[in-house]
């Protein structure tokens, strides 16, 4: 299944929202984008629950929003999308993947993983 450009643009916008420092500090807004059984495998190797991620985002002192490169979406099913991209910061880059599901017409992130790219 090839995603339509509007869906790709929407999922990119949602990913960027979750990276926006001001949006991240609003737990109610951020919670709207995370599925109830959300999990994350962080670049550190830590496994994060939905509640732990929301708490971290609301309380982190500084968050440097990364640049997003090579954003792509693959449709797994009609209401399931896999977004992949490279997150680039001065401190280094990571490969990211997010599994998005559509629930009652709204896209929610079900799973996210970050993998650091070793610096040469």
Distance CA 70, CA 78 (A): 23
Whether the Cβ atoms of residue 114 and residue 41 lie closer than 8 Å to each other: yes
Token readout for 74 is: 């693959």
pLDDT along the chain (120 residues), means of 10: 90 96 93 97 91 94 89 96 95 94 96 90
Radius of gyration of the chain (CA): 14
Residue 2 confidence (pLDDT) = 81
Residue 112 confidence (pLDDT) = 98
φ, ψ at 82 (rounded to 5°): -105, 120
Helix (H/G/I), strand (E/B), else coil: 11 = helix
pLDDT digits (tens, 9 = 90+) for 36-62: 999 999 888 899 999 999 999 999 888
Whether the Cβ atoms of residue 60 and residue 24 lie closer than 8 Å to each other: yes
Q: Which CATH architecture has domain 5-116?
A: Roll (3.10)
Residue 87 confidence (pLDDT) = 95
């Amino acid at each position: 299944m090839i995603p339509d450009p509007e869906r790709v643009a929407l999922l990119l916008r949602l990913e960027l929202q979750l990276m926006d420092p001001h949006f991240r500090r609003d737990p109610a807004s951020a919670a709207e984008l995370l599925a109830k059984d959300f999990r994350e495998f962080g670049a550190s190797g830590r496994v994060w629950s939905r509640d732990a991620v929301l708490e971290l985002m609301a309380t982190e002192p500084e968050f440097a929003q990364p640049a997003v490169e090579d954003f792509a979406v693959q449709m797994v099913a009609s209401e399931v999308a896999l977004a992949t991209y490279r997150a680039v910061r001065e401190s280094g880059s990571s490969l990211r993947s997010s599994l998005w599901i559509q629930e009652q017409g709204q896209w929610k992130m079900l799973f996210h993983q970050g993998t650091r790219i070793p610096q040469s």
